[in-house]
Structures are given as C-alpha cells and as structure tokens.
Structure 1
C-alpha cells in the first residue's frame, strides 16, 4: 500500500550501525534511497528528537519526515491479561499517525516518529519458543477460548508499519506455523495490502472505533471511522479474526446519540459472518499531564475533549506521572450506560473486557 506522502515520507533516517547487518535493515534503506542517514548509538536515545521542546510544535512534520531503524534488544514476553495473554517484543515503536491521546509519546519526549526494528526473525523465533513452552492452553479465558494470544503492536500501528517493511507479513506468516497461538494487534489504518497475507485465522486484528465527530478531532491522520467499519467484512473474508476496540471512550456533552449512531452503523454494515465472530474491548479515556502540555503546542482543540478536570480526577502512575481519569463514581455510571446501548444495538458483540 502506497501511503499518502503527507503521512510518511522519510527525509532523514536515524539508524544504529548494526542495522546494515540485517537483511530487513538493508531492505528498508533501499526503499528510501534519497533519505539522509544519521548513525546513532541507540534508537531510544536521540537527544535532538527527544530533548527539544520546540519540536512539539512541529509534531506532524517530524512524523512524516523522520524514520528510526534499530535492533530490538529485549526479546522477553510480558504477561498481559487484557488484549493478549502476553505482550510480544515490539517490532516497532511510535507511529506516523497522531492520535492526540496516544500513550506512547509520554515516554518518547517531544517527537514520536516511527521506529522499526530490523531483527524480525529473532522476534518471531522468540515468540515461537515461548509459545512452545506454554503448551496447550489449560482453559478458556476472556482473551481466547483455545489459543495463547500475543499482542504484537503495543507501541505502534502494524497496519502502517506494513508500508515500511515486511515485518508484519513475516509475523502473520509466523503465526500460521504456531499451532497453539495467535497474533493480535489494534489499528486505526485500513491497509488493504494485509488482505493478501493469508493469516488462516491465526492473526486477530482489532479495529479501534469511536464516534466519527470525536474521531475527526482526536484521531489525526487515521482512516475514517466508516472506512474502518466497512473493512471489517473484507478482513474476515481474508481469514483474519476481527474484533473492535471502543477506545478510548471520551465522555462529553451529547455523547449518547453519537455512540448509538456508531453502534447502528456497525449493525447495518457488518455481514452475518463478521457479526458471528465479533467481540470488543472497551477502554475509558485516561489522559496524561505531559501529553496535555505537548498537545497544547500542536493541537489544542483536542484538549477541549481530553482534558476535563471538571469530570476527571488525578491518578499517579507507577512511574510518577500525573494522569487524569474520569471520577470513579461517574465512570462506572457512564460505562454502564455505554454497555446498555451496546446491548440494545449490537448484542451479538461480546465484551471481552471493559474498564
């Protein structure tokens, strides 16, 4: 899929020296022969990207013009229990899209370009070894009734990554050969190249959805909501398991008719086959003070929806960051309302978890 040049068109590539020793690294460099190459000791520590607060005002240009290539060092799996049984080692970090609520930039400073890891064979092999050690899943859980599920895209969007390299194709192919496991990733981009990857039911795609009016403000540079919904049928026919993420749920005045309209559109558009396998995750918004300040530099309009101290309360993260979440007593009420609208309009869409 040829992405719009305004979405990702690297003019500068930062790379660790070892990248050139990997076939995937050489392939990606060959895709962008005119880009300036800048060697760095670590893909994670690039001061000119992460330490300059003025870059926050140039958020979108940095995402379009910069690509980072590195070698993934840590290949361990982390227990999860929500989107997957385990979080797999990331094949990327960062995103060329610019959702204003995204948690990844909280840890990346003032610029959040795509970082691609070129040792994809090592990542896939680590997943396969781990799945083999797990053996047969002993009992069903809310993640999957039979398979261990590995979340592949915790820190990026694999649909977009697939336009940069064949990492995603390789991961989908790897899970075809792991009999007791599935891969899973969430996305806000419809990349129809993935329809030809032949997943054979071993990869789960989770399309993230929210009401269109809100998405147009906070889901910057993503596929329109209606396009995501329409794509579900095609991805099911192509052999993917397709779920949806209602995430983040952003409460504001007049939110009920918007969510009812979204659920009605899903019901109108999805095929019987897509409905029969549909499940969802529901995640209420949590915002972050550091990200709030970054957003004020490039997209203050989004903060009218995201930063609502009148509705939110402070929650300190384990790393000492100040987050804002909806006040506990109200959050439960709002979540119950959303669940009731879902039950009325798309009752076949099972809720895997909601919080």
Structure 2
C-alpha cells in the first residue's frame, strides 16, 4: 500500500476531528502534518494552482483531505444504478488519464474522506426503505434498487483509508430491497471478509492491457483484476465488468478479442452465470486534455484524436469530445458483436 498511499499531509476540517471516524483516520497516520482548512472543497494549495500538474502523482500519494459531508441527496440515475448515493469520499489516489474528477476539483485531486458516515448511513437506510419494493425490472437490476456508492472515488482504495465502505456494505447487506454498487480498478482483498450476501455489486473495470499501461496509472494490472473475479463471487459479491473507456485506435478490436478470451479463460462457471457488462466508449474533455499535456502527454496520443472525435458542449458548459456520430454506432456494434461471439454468456446491460 505504501506505493499507492504514503500520507504525509492531512488537510482537516476541524469538525471532522470531533467525529469517531475522523479520529480513526487521523490515528492511522499519526506522523502526518495536519493543516486546518475551512472547507474541504477549496484548498488553496490544491485547487487552482496550475503548477501542481508537475506534482500530480506525488500529491495523490502524500495528501489526504478529511471533511464533513454537508448535503445528503440520492440523485436518480437510471443506467448503471437507480440512484447515486451521497458520497463518503471523492478524489482518488490512482491517476487514470481520462478521469473526469480533476475537471471539477482543480489541478490535483487527492482523496477526500467524509467523517460523518453515521449520517450517510442513516440517510440511505431511510431513502431505500421509502422506495418500497421495485415495481418492475430495469437495466439496473431485476429486483433491487441499486445505489452507486462510488461515483467520485474508487471504493476499493477508499477502504484502505477508512471503514466507510465497509459500513455501507454492511448496511446494504441488511436492506431487503436495495443493493450497493461501485466500479473499481483496484484489487483490495480485505473486502473478501465482509460477507456482503449478494447485496453489493462490484464492477471490475477492464480494458486491453496495452491501453491500461498508458491510461490506468497506479491501478491494479488488468490480469490481477480478472484473477480476482472468482474470489469476489465466492465471497458473496455480485460481480460485473465495466468495459470503460473503450478507446478506438489501430488494432483496437484485435486487442479486445484477446481481452475477452483472457476473461473467458480466467473465470469459472459461477462467475460466468451472474456476469454482466457495461460498455462505455471514451468521452474526453478539452480542459482535461490541457492538464494531461502537463504531466502525461503520451496518454493524449491515445485519447485526444480530433480525426475521430467531435465536440459536444455539456450541460455545464464544458467542451467534451466523443467519437463521431455514425462512426461511433459502428464501433459499438463491432464490440458488442465481438462480446456475443467470444463470451456469449456475458449479458451487456448497456453500451454507448
């Protein structure tokens, strides 16, 4: 874990230190320098300082923010999950070149942990029970309301910092009508002892290793993620795969064929019986492109392709790029046809 996290500085909202979870986190790194801040959202040393690009990975490794979650909402989603749960963390110690979080958090985005976990758990319990039974199946799940608990972070890494994720897994274990869900690129085998009883869905993100080597910085290697699937199924998790982002380049389909064959050979019948996939093609962002040029320009050779992409302005005004209309449809069909050919048991929940 030292290579991923070597916490030397903790930016602290004083109210977080008054809470049991906050004290637990501080006790894990007693030698860390504490820097009191008014708000976890805008820390001058981290936010808006363009020179931080040159220290991108070091900040992720050495800095931690400890705060209090102010707003409790469960936003409707409807594709990967029915609801996006209030976050118990944001930011990440990993450094995937396509990650959207830096667009909103500035030029560095170390992990922020929220100490008021009891309030999050209480809110989610009441929200889920208010929903009652799910009236009909949808692409999120046949029977349960699905709550994404890791929209802005990687829960497998968060679990190395605090027990927030474990508290959520234990909450959903007891809810009769709901389940938790999160995507991950990090294999944390500590989660295997948590007894989720089928009420937490882990989505292991996969892409061809040649792409991951350039784009998935500081993550668990793709073969390690595949090798973990059977163990997580045996431990009581529902396990899906998240093919995201799919990057179009010369030879991309051949590499996806090899990845699907590796997945097929690497998992057993119990995993195959319950496996499903999300397929998400790359969307990139002009501002993130400029940031990446400052610390990892090689990644941009893969994911900034004006010859293949078109600009789309998002609802918040950002300039995003995605593969061109028409061509993208053919890419999606080519990959979903390949999935049906190489892994016919793998249900594609959605692809876009």
TM-score range, shorter chain: over 0.9
CA distance in 1 between partners of 2:70 and 2:129 (Å)? 21
Please report how far the alpha carbon of residue 9 of structure 1 lies from its aligned counterpart in structure 2 after TM superposition: 1.0
2:307 alignment partner in structure 1: 310
Q: Aligned equivalents of 1:262 and 1:175: distance in 2?
A: 32
Shift of 1:6: 2.3
Shift of 1:120: 0.9
- Report SS of the residue matched to 1:50: coil
Query: How far off is 1:176 after superposition?
Result: 1.2
1:338 corresponds to 2:317: no
Once residues 94 and 180 of structure 2 are traced to their aligned partners in structure 1, the CA distance between those partners, rounded to angstroms, is: 22
Gaps of 5+ in 1: none
Please report how far the alpha carbon of residue 10 of structure 1 lies from its aligned counterpart in structure 2 after TM superposition: 1.1
Unaligned runs of 5+ in 2: none
Would you say 1:272 and 2:269 are equivalent positions?
Answer: yes
Q: Per-residue CA shift, 1:232-286, capped at 9, x if unaligned? A: 0000000000000000000001111100000001111110000000001000000
Match for residue 137 of structure 2? 140
| Mapping for residues 1-355 of structure 1, pairs under 5 Å | 3=1, 5-355=2-352
Deviations 1:91-144, CA, capped at 9 Å, x for gaps? 100000000000111101111100001111111111110011100000001110
- In 1, Cα distance between the equivalents of 2:10 and 2:280? 34
What is the distance in 2 between the residues matched to 1:74 and 1:313? 35
Matched residues, number: 352
- The two structures, once aligned, show a CA RMSD in angstroms of 0.6
* Cα displacement string for residues 194-248 of structure 1 (whole angstroms, at most 9, x for unaligned residues): 0001101110000000001000000000000000001000000000000000000
Q: Report the Cα distance in structure 2 between the residues aligned to 1:154 and 1:76, rounded to whole angstroms.
A: 13
Deviation sequence 1:32-80 (CA, Å, 0-9, x none): 0010001111100112201110001110000011000011111110000
- Hey, which bits of structure 1, 4+ residues long, moved more than 2 A? none
Q: Distance in 2 between matches of 1:353 and 1:81?
A: 11
TM-score if structure 2 supplies the norm length? Answer: 0.99
